[in-house]
Structure 1
């Protein structure tokens, strides 16, 4: 009863906005299932918008490859992108609501290749598949990996297919998502392993930088109440 009253009061204080929402294939947080966008972050976002009085533009979530979704969220006003790792490089590019979870970023390879990476400088030895503008790619570059050794792809299934075909040595992405997508694509996840951990990152809803700051404050307060 008390929680419902708090949520109702917060909703009354908020200015009702209509947001264009972008996401990508990143299970278990956000993914497509039987033509519907779902996942733990998706369900949380739907509850957050409902309780705060805001709406989805066109009553839909735009499901796009990460590079395209990221570009749209940067340039389309009244938009948001999820689930987004909050990094120093992105801090001023968005306004942030969260955290909504944690994501482990790592490098995954086939066990049969016997890749062993003891230190970051050894990453340079391998052809690693990445998605441009992802936190995992930026971490690799920050660790000194040259762009010329990276194999860039537009979306995750493409890089995983190349890994399975031995066309790249490893992929750098969310560990959970990588293994989920391997399974979805019919590969035996027991044939793969994490060979290097990059970072554990907090995940957020990333709103366009010109979103009303009061809206962000109210959304964060509502989120805290929902997560209690």
Structure 2
């Protein structure tokens, strides 16, 4: 879908820049999620605020499994995927607007089955569910789990189902996503123990590398103008 809007590249020099962006997101609360048929979440709210600031009409957001969204942004131009954790391995692959919020990635185990670990090496003998091409997969690989121990899933809901069915011993998940799963009664507090904090990273809007810097800068300035809203949403969603 073509979007045309005016950007300020330099003081008193207006640039009319036509561009075409396709937006992808994963259903991963509280970043993006449905309430009935309405798409909500902190990332959705911030993106709509940016559009409004830039005078862009509301655009379609394609909600897809993370692996598909990731494939789209690395293979197709003019693509936006959110919210993406900005890990060192990804930093040079995309352009970034944000950060939207910080994410604690943790390992959980079935209640009473695995003691909380002081060293990550204590958990290396256990299988762990991750989301394919998600930050959890890279973080777990970086934590020296072997590929044989890592069970890839398409989304958080599939990973939770495998965890609840005891098909894996551990699951890598964000604390915020875990809280939302509990609120949705997809998991009970008595079902699990948190056994290790893997990493803390920041989540952003990721843009494919071909998107012009003038667009990235305009989106970032619009984001920065809504810092107060961003902080309020971080508080609202308990991030």
Distance in 1 between residues matched to 2:207 and 2:196, nearest whole Å: 31
Query: Judging changes above 3 Å, is the alpha-carbon distance between structure 1 residues 88 and 146 closer, same or farther for their aligned structure 2 residues?
Result: same
In the superposition, the TM-score normalised over structure 2's length comes to 0.84
SS at match of 1:115: coil
Question: In proportion to residue count, which structure has more helix?
Answer: 1
Give the aligned CA root-mean-square deviation in angstroms: 2.1
Structure 2 match to 1:52: 54
Structure 1 match to 2:120: 120
| 8 Å Cα contact 1:14-1:218 kept in structure 2 | no
Structure 2 match to 1:93: 93
Distance in 2 between residues matched to 1:13 and 1:190, nearest whole Å: 56
Q: Deviations over 1:52-106 (max 9, x none)?
A: 23455xx321111111111112222111011111111111211001111111111
| 8 Å Cα contact 1:179-1:189 kept in structure 2 | no
| 8 Å Cα contact 1:175-1:194 kept in structure 2 | no
Structure 2 match to 1:199: 199
Distance in 2 between residues matched to 1:112 and 1:121, nearest whole Å: 19
Unaligned runs of 5+ in 1: 1-7
Distance in 1 between residues matched to 2:195 and 2:16, nearest whole Å: 46
SS at match of 2:53: helix
Q: Which moved more, 1:109-118 or 1:194-203?
A: 109-118
| 8 Å Cα contact 1:31-1:37 kept in structure 2 | yes
Structure 1 match to 2:169: 169
| 8 Å Cα contact 2:7-2:17 kept in structure 1 | no
Structure 2 match to 1:152: 152
Structure 1 match to 2:30: 28
| 8 Å Cα contact 1:160-1:182 kept in structure 2 | no
Alignment of 1:130-141 (within 5 A): 130-141=130-141
Deviation at 1:16, TM superposition (A): 4.8
Distance in 2 between residues matched to 1:70 and 1:140, nearest whole Å: 18
Unaligned runs of 5+ in 2: 1-5, 229-239
In the superposition, the TM-score normalised over structure 1's length comes to 0.88
Structure 1 match to 2:233: none
SS at match of 1:148: coil
Query: Judging changes above 3 Å, is the alpha-carbon distance between structure 1 residues 14 and 148 closer, same or farther for their aligned structure 2 residues?
Result: farther
Distance in 1 between residues matched to 2:150 and 2:51, nearest whole Å: 38
Q: Deviations over 1:130-185 (max 9, x none)?
A: 11221122111112110101111111111101111111111112121133224425
| 8 Å Cα contact 1:49-1:55 kept in structure 2 | yes
Stretches (4+) displaced over 6 A: none
Structure 2 match to 1:4: none
| 8 Å Cα contact 1:18-1:54 kept in structure 2 | no
Query: Judging changes above 3 Å, is the alpha-carbon distance between structure 1 residues 122 and 199 closer, same or farther for their aligned structure 2 residues?
Result: same
